């Protein structure tokens, strides 16, 4: 693993085990394959026991790494301390870091009149993730080592009429991660924010008008690289940084008139 040490560039001495929450996501599965190909053992977290078990067996068979699953639901925040907290107090010492891939685009149009849908989008992408990230943050802060990576989105960089419930939750998540990075810097824990553009997953399947759609494999490799290099905020693919720079620079007086 010596090739993965980049101490002078603020990178991480990577080894051992990584926890991935939302592991059944297409992006997370691609990332899990990337970690496994580099001989990391994996804990795959999520709410679908069958899918997680199938993924865990596949990774173990293909790459000869050890895998286990952890069942949790982001929306059941009351259970997080007992499930994730207990797991970390028992097995957390083996963890190099954690990646939170949980997310749900939801139905913007429905959410505008149905509070249940709006709340599900906000809670899945923001409060549910924050509840899990708080537990992870306290764990790694106490250990004074490790990394926390989470998938936000370019949708959080500017509110658009087509997805502003999801975008608002991701904007909140990005701000949370920014503050967390500032806090954990002093405990030598890296916090990495990933902002993907459009990715070809079940989240975007069948949605019209998507441009520059990337494969989950490309994004998975990008996340792995970002973790290894100990980056702060990474747009994936890279050109989204410049697209969003342009999108953010459009004056509000003009932006509000656009059909976005
Ligand atoms: N696809 C894109 O264009 C895109 C762009 C920017 C950012 N992202 C972000 O990338 C991440 C991965 O998304 P993806 O595109 O790979 O979509 P995906 O395949 O739909 O994955 C979503 C993941 O979130 C999990 N999840 C949803 N609600 C949950 C809950 N209540 N409890 C636990 N897990 C829950 C899903 O688990 P189940 O399998 O149990 O449903 C699944 O693992 C998300 O955070 C998403 O917001 C995606």
Q: Indicate if ligand 1 lies below 6 Å from the C-beta of 198.
A: yes
Does the structure show a pLDDT above 80 at 166?
yes
Structural element, H or E, at residue 184: helix 164-185
Q: Which atom of ligand 1 is nearest to the CA of 29?
A: 16
In contact, 150 and 197? CB cutoff 8 Å: no
Does the structure show a pLDDT above 70 at 225?
yes
In contact, 97 and 147? CB cutoff 8 Å: yes
Taking Cα atoms as reference points, which of 211, 188, 78 lies closest to residue 140?
188
What was the pLDDT predicted at 259? 86
Dist. CA 6 → ligand 1 center (Å): 30
Does the structure show a pLDDT above 80 at 15?
no
CA distance 88 to 213: 36
Find the mean pLDDT for residues 195-200: 95
pLDDT tier at 20, thresholds 50, 70, 90:
very high
Does the structure show a pLDDT above 50 at 8?
no
Classify 232 as helix, strand or coil. coil
Q: Indicate if ligand 1 lies below 6 Å from the C-beta of 76.
A: no
Probe target for ligand 1 pocket from 28, 102, 125, 169, with the most ligand atoms within 8 Å of CB: 102
Alpha helices for 10-95 (secondary structure H) = 26-37, 49-63, 80, 86-91
Of residues 2 and 154, more confidence is placed in 154
Distances (CA, A) of 236 to 4, 197, 223, 225, 241: 21, 6, 8, 11, 8
Q: Indicate if ligand 1 lies below 6 Å from the C-beta of 73.
A: yes
CA distance 210 to 44: 30
Q: Which atom of ligand 1 is nearest to the CA of 155?
A: 6
Whose Cα sits closest to atom 20 in ligand 1?
203
> Rg for the chain (alpha carbons), in Å?
18
What was the pLDDT predicted at 27? 98
Does the structure show a pLDDT above 70 at 7?
no
Whose Cα sits closest to atom 2 in ligand 1?
199
CA distance 247 to 251: 9
Angle, helices 216-229/26-37, rounded to nearest 10 degrees: 50
Provide the percentage of residues in the chain whose pLDDT is more than 70: 94
Of residues 106 and 3, more confidence is placed in 106
Query: Which residue numbers are catalytic?
Result: 166
What was the pLDDT predicted at 6? 35
Give this prediction's pTM: 0.94
Probe target for ligand 1 pocket from 23, 27, 70, 106, with the most ligand atoms within 8 Å of CB: 27
Does the structure show a pLDDT above 60 at 3?
no
Cross-sheet strand order for the sheet of 190-196: 67-71, 41-46, 17-21, 95-100, 147-151, 190-196, 233-236
Find the mean pLDDT for residues 9-38: 85
Q: Indicate if ligand 1 lies below 6 Å from the C-beta of 201.
A: yes
What was the pLDDT predicted at 219? 98
Sequence-ordered list of residues with C-beta below 8 angstroms from that of 91, at least 6 positions apart, any chain: 43
What was the pLDDT predicted at 16? 87
What pLDDT digit, counting tens, does each position of 39-57 carry?
Answer: 999 999 999 999 999 999 9
Q: Which atom of ligand 1 is nearest to the CA of 73?
A: 32
Find the mean pLDDT for residues 120-127: 98
- pLDDT mean across residues, the chain: 93
Q: Indicate if ligand 1 lies below 6 Å from the C-beta of 102.
A: yes
Find the mean pLDDT for residues 152-170: 97
Dist. CA 125 → ligand 1 center (Å): 9
pLDDT tier at 10, thresholds 50, 70, 90:
very low
Burial classification of residue 15, based on how many CB atoms lie within 10 Å of its CB (0-12 exposed, 13-18 middle, 19 or more buried): middle
Check the CA dihedral 162-166-169-171 and report its sign.
negative
Q: Indicate if ligand 1 lies below 6 Å from the C-beta of 66.
A: no
In contact, 12 and 190? CB cutoff 8 Å: yes
Provide the percentage of residues in the chain whose pLDDT is more than 90: 87
Taking Cα atoms as reference points, which of 141, 224, 251 lies closest to residue 188?
141
Q: Indicate if ligand 1 lies below 6 Å from the C-beta of 121.
A: no
């Amino acid at each position: 693993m010596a090739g993965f040490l980049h101490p002078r560039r603020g990178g991480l001495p990577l080894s051992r085990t990584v926890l991935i929450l939302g592991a059944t996501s297409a992006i997370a599965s691609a990332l899990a394959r990337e970690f496994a190909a580099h001989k990391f053992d994996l804990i795959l977290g999520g709410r679908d026991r069958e899918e997680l078990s199938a993924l865990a067996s596949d990774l173990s068979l293909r790459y000869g790494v050890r895998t286990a699953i952890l069942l949790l639901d982001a929306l059941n925040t009351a259970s997080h301390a007992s499930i994730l907290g207990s797991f970390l107090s028992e097995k957390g010492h083996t963890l190099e870091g954690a990646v939170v891939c949980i997310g749900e685009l939801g139905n913007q149009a429905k959410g505008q009149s149905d509070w249940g849908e709006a709340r599900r989008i906000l809670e899945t992408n923001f409060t549910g993730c924050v509840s899990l990230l708080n537990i992870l943050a306290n764990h790694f802060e106490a250990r004074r080592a490790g990394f926390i990576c989470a998938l936000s989105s370019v949708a959080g960089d500017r509110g658009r009429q087509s997805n502003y419930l999801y975008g608002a939750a991701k904007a909140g998540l990005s701000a949370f991660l920014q503050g967390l990075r500032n806090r954990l810097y002093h405990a030598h824990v890296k916090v990495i924010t990933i902002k993907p553009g459009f990715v070809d997953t079940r989240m975007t399947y069948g949605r019209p008008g998507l441009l520059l759609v990337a494969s989950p494999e490309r994004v998975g490799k990008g996340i792995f690289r970002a973790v290894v290099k100990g980056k702060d905020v990474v747009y994936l693919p890279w050109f989204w940084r410049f697209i969003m720079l342009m999108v953010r620079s459009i004056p509000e007086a003009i932006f509000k008139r656009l059909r976005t």
